[in-house]
Amino acid sequence: MDNLFAYISIAAMMVIIPGADTMLLMKNTLRHGPKAGYYTTLGMAAGLSFWTLIAVLGLAVVIAQSIVLFTLIKYLGAAYLVYLGIRSFFSKSGFSLGEIQEQARKPAASSVRHNKESFRQALLSNVLNPKTVLVYITVMPQFIDISGNVNQQLMVLAFILTLLAVTWFLFLVNLLDLAKKWLNDPKFQKVFQKTAGAVLVGFGIKTAI
């Protein structure tokens, strides 16, 4: 691998810059508690692992070069983000930190359902994200030594990206957990929920165009 430090720096910036994953993580963590944030992070990691497998099998380039496949993934991903955004924007129920703490003490079936839903949302958001394909076929190849084992290097680079993303998102979940008192303001809850919905719709539209 060439310029590993440069790759880590670029990958870190891609992870830290707020995107759909960040907004989804914040929405799920604030609405259903830190555990939902952990499951969101796990779903994101699973989505990246999916694309790592696709890339190693050589299908990432095929998908990127196929107008039909790439367009299909793009619009499915855009539609899913818009769906999540609209659902969040028009949701009438706010999130209560008291309820979150109660769920943490007493893991009910609804809590398990929210965790599974958080995982599924993050997984689908990443699997249906065409930008992930572009990272694997445009960014990563620049740091691969073609004289070596390409697939092995690709897996290492993908692992670094996933590790950075997981570390950053876990930090955000715990940061949100520490800010409970400030976030308990009902006005903030309402504004954030609608803002999160609008931003997710915006990311969906941006993905489509």
Query: Nearest-CA neighbor of 106 among 209, 9, 33, 6?
Result: 33
Q: pLDDT tens-digit profile of 14-32? A: 788 777 788 888 888 877 8
Q: pLDDT tens-digit profile of 33-51? A: 889 999 999 999 999 999 8
Q: How far apart are CA 81 and CA 94, in angstroms?
A: 20
Residue 60 forms part of a structural domain? yes
Q: pLDDT tens-digit profile of 51-89? A: 888 888 887 777 667 778 767 777 776 776 677 677 766
Residue 115 CA, chain-centre distance (Å), reads: 15
Residue 14 forms part of a structural domain? no
pTM beyond 0.85, yes or no: no
Residue 34 forms part of a structural domain? yes
3-state secondary structure of 96: coil
Q: Where are the alpha helices (DSSP H) in 33-66?
A: 34-56, 59-65
Q: Which domain holds residue 149?
A: 4-9+22-208
Residue 16 forms part of a structural domain? no
Residue 119 forms part of a structural domain? yes
Residue 17 forms part of a structural domain? no
Q: How far apart are CA 39 and CA 122, in angstroms?
A: 8
Give the total number of structural domains in the chain.
1
Residue 79 forms part of a structural domain? yes
